[in-house]
Structure 1
Amino acid sequence: MKKYLLIILIVIAGLQASAQTGLSKGDDAPAFKTIDNNGNTLDLKTLLKAHKSVVLFFYRGEWCPYCNKHMQQVQDSLQLLTSKGAYVIAVTPETNENINKTIQKTHASFSIVQDKGYAIMKTYKVNYVLDESTVAKYKSFNIDLNKGNGNTDHVLPVPATYVINQSGKITFVHFNKDYTKRASVNDILQVL
């Protein structure tokens, strides 16, 4: 029963993301420079010089079963992605402590970025704010976004995926406000 209520909450949250549009195939990918979970500096321009492409995806948090399932699928296929010259980056609003929980659950070995201030989420047009009633419903399921993200503004990303080629163009977009829908690894592999 609790699982079904969580799914209903996820659908409600998806309706709140209606203002966001994401970026489109063919758009220039917004540049960013950040630090990943291992303390490595990630500069999109530098990564694109060293790799054929960057697979950039956004996830909501370690509490999200759909995020964890997708991250596990990416991890399971990581060698296939990297063998095609891709560098994989996951972006999240969650704290470093919760990123570590995500890694424990998914065994993710690719770069994960805590997007403090939501700079990357905003430039890729995937950020949205949960309303207070949805936040309260999440809390009833022991999902505390204040603790999970280390703030009180309740910003989450639409779990979008972008593939960026060496010229800095977006060659693949998966942007779906339905949180149960994620980019398949096979779809990503087809554009690499």
Structure 2
Amino acid sequence: MKNLKRTFILSIFILVLSLAVRAQTGLKNGDVAPNFIAKDSEGKSINLKQLLKQNKAVVLFFYRGQWCPYCNKHIKDLQDSLQSLNAKGAYVVGVTPETNESISKTKEKTKASFSLVSDRGYKIMKDYRVDFVMEETLASKYKTYGIDVAKNNGATDAVLPVPATYIIGKDGKIKFVQFDTDYKKRASIKQILAIL
């Protein structure tokens, strides 16, 4: 019962956050995807241009953190369908503002075996127009429920992405966008596979 109450209260706060994120627009279908180079949590070099040379597409998604039940469900769904996604020539990359330590918790919860990248400095999130700086009052409320966004991010500011999924084609252009400030809405595996 205690966990149910905590989840309900957390959902209310996330809803408040989602209403405040409307200023973000994300990128659109047909836009050229900004290149990025980063290391994933396993130390593997992730370079979008290189991935597109080696794969038919990249499924790039942004998630808030290991504390978010909707993020964890989405990651589990992607992991459960990873063979189907790979069979269609897709490489899956998740981006979060959290530290590698927090990414390890995500991997424990979801069994994710694909690349997860810690976006230190929020450059990838900014390039894809999904970054959102939480107001101090909201960040403080999260802390009362044991979620210190800034600490999870290894930063002094509390920044989260709007949950979003992009499918980037071999030509470097975005073929599919799921961008919605409603934190409950994520791209379905069916939608992703249909585009691939």
**d(CA) in 1 for partners of 2:82 and 2:160?**
25
Instruction: Show the counterpart of 2:134.
Output: 130
5+ long unaligned stretches in structure 2: none
**d(CA) in 2 for partners of 1:7 and 1:38?**
31
**d(CA) in 2 for partners of 1:38 and 1:60?**
19
Q: Do structure 1's residue 148 and structure 2's residue 148 form an aligned pair? A: no
The SS at the match of 1:178 is coil
Instruction: Show the counterpart of 1:62.
Output: 66
Identity of aligned residues (%): 57
Q: Do structure 1's residue 80 and structure 2's residue 84 form an aligned pair? A: yes
Instruction: Show the counterpart of 2:21.
Output: 17
Instruction: Show the counterpart of 1:98.
Output: 102
The answer to whether the 8 A contact 1:77-1:185 is kept is yes
Deviation at 1:152, TM superposition (A): 1.6
The answer to whether the 8 A contact 1:60-1:92 is kept is yes
**d(CA) in 2 for partners of 1:67 and 1:103?**
12
Deviation at 1:89, TM superposition (A): 0.1
The SS at the match of 1:152 is coil
5+ long unaligned stretches in structure 1: none
**d(CA) in 2 for partners of 1:152 and 1:18?**
23
Q: Do structure 1's residue 47 and structure 2's residue 60 form an aligned pair? A: no
**d(CA) in 1 for partners of 2:151 and 2:48?**
29
Aligned residue pairs: how many? 192
**d(CA) in 2 for partners of 1:41 and 1:166?**
19
The SS at the match of 1:103 is helix
Instruction: Show the counterpart of 1:179.
Output: 183
Q: Which amino acid aligns with 2:58?
A: V
Q: Which amino acid aligns with 1:76?
A: D
Deviation at 1:146, TM superposition (A): 2.4
Shift >3 Å, 4+ stretches = none
TM value normalised by structure 1:
0.98
Alignment of 1:24-43 (within 5 A): 24-43=28-47
Q: 2:8 aligns with which of 4, 10, 19?
A: 4
Deviation at 1:2, TM superposition (A): 2.0
**d(CA) in 2 for partners of 1:10 and 1:146?**
16
Q: Do structure 1's residue 191 and structure 2's residue 195 form an aligned pair? A: yes
**d(CA) in 2 for partners of 1:2 and 1:111?**
30
Q: Which amino acid aligns with 1:64?
A: C
Q: Do structure 1's residue 162 and structure 2's residue 173 form an aligned pair? A: no
Taking only aligned residues, the RMSD between alpha carbons, in angstroms, comes to 0.7
Q: Which amino acid aligns with 1:135?
A: A
The answer to whether the 8 A contact 2:150-2:159 is kept is no
Instruction: Show the counterpart of 2:116.
Output: 112
